[in-house]
């Protein structure tokens, strides 16, 4: 079946540090890949996505590249802010005829001033 | 103007009670979901409806019963609440099943925090 593996958190950084949150997946065919973000007390919202190999999704300074050869979709940001503190979820959908989007376990990011 | 809205946002209740969480989406989507998020933030799909019909029912106790009166609404009723039901429940929607396969976004509500005491 489909699965998404994310690095365990929390990830704790100082403001303006470089961020990487690793995500790898297992799926058949060519799934679409997503990063969702959950701010404290809120629901999940789409951060960025990529629907085919080598596509790069980007939004709010975050970016991730769909790497089929390594089955990865790592999230990066060059300079994090305190307001980026949240839980980040990697997800996939559209694999093997499945209607269920598959989410990773989430990685908590804490950014200190 | 909230796309996916759920009520109540917070619910504290005693073991053994029956409670409902309501969800409505104004996006014109065909597909709706209920997810459960535990204390470690893990998201687990519970149910999915497409055009008012149940299409996914994961291994969820029979005490949980979804109801979709129309495709804009998907309510969750929970009977005989147990301590382990304490979690955040998220309603979500997507355009349709085909859209999910082609990478369309899922829109989430803000969550309903259920605490069973």
- Residues on chain A touching B48 (C-beta within 8 angstroms): 99-100
Chain B: residue whose CA lies nearest to A35: B105
CA distance B10 to B111: 9
C-alpha A47/C-alpha B42 separation (Å) is 18
Q: In terms of C-beta density within 10 A (0-12 exposed, 13-18 middle, 19 or more buried), how is residue A29 classed?
A: exposed
pLDDT of residue B100: 57
Yes or no, beta carbons of A105 and B40 under 8 Å apart: yes
The pairs formed by A94-97 with CB atoms below 8 angstroms and a separation of 24 or more are A94/A29, A94/A30, A94/A31, A94/A32, A94/B100, A94/B101, A94/B102, A94/B103, A95/A2, A95/A27, A95/A28, A95/A29, A95/A30, A95/A31, A96/A2, A96/A27, A96/A28, A96/A29, A97/B101
pLDDT tens digits, chain A, 113 residues: what are they? 788 999 888 999 999 999 999 999 998 888 899 999 999 988 899 999 998 899 999 999 999 999 999 999 999 999 999 999 999 999 998 766 666 788 999 999 999 99
How does pLDDT run along chain B (117 residues), one tens digit per residue?
679 999 999 999 999 999 999 999 999 999 999 999 998 888 998 998 988 888 877 778 999 999 999 999 999 999 999 999 999 999 999 887 766 556 678 899 999 999 999
Q: Mark which residues 57-86 of B lie under 8 Å from A by CB.
A: none
| A34-56 pLDDT tens trace | 999 999 988 899 999 998 899 99
């Amino acid at each position: 079946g489909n699965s998404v593996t994310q690095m365990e958190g929390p990830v704790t950084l100082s403001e303006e540090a470089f961020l990487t949150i690793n995500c790898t997946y297992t799926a058949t065919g060519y799934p679409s890949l997503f990063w969702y973000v959950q701010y404290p007390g809120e629901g999940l919202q789409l951060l960025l996505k990529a629907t085919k190999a080598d596509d790069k999704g980007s939004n709010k300074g975050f970016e991730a590249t769909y790497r089929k050869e390594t089955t990865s979709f790592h999230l990066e940001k060059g300079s994090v802010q305190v307001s980026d503190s949240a839980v980040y979820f990697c997800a996939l959908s559209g694999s093997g005829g499945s209607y269920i989007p598959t989410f990773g376990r989430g990685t908590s990011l804490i950014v200190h001033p | 103007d909230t796309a996916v809205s759920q009520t109540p946002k917070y619910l504290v209740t005693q073991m053994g009670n029956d409670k409902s969480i309501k969800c409505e989406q104004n996006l014109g989507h065909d597909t709706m979901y209920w997810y459960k998020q535990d204390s470690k933030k893990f998201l687990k799909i519970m149910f999915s409806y497409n055009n008012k019909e149940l299409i996914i029912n994961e291994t969820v106790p029979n005490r949980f019963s979804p109801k979709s009166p129309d495709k804009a609404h998907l309510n969750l009723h929970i009977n005989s609440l147990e301590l382990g039901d304490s979690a955040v429940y998220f309603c979500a929607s997507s355009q349709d099943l085909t859209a999910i396969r082609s990478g369309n976004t899922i829109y989430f509500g803000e969550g309903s925090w259920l605490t069973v005491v």
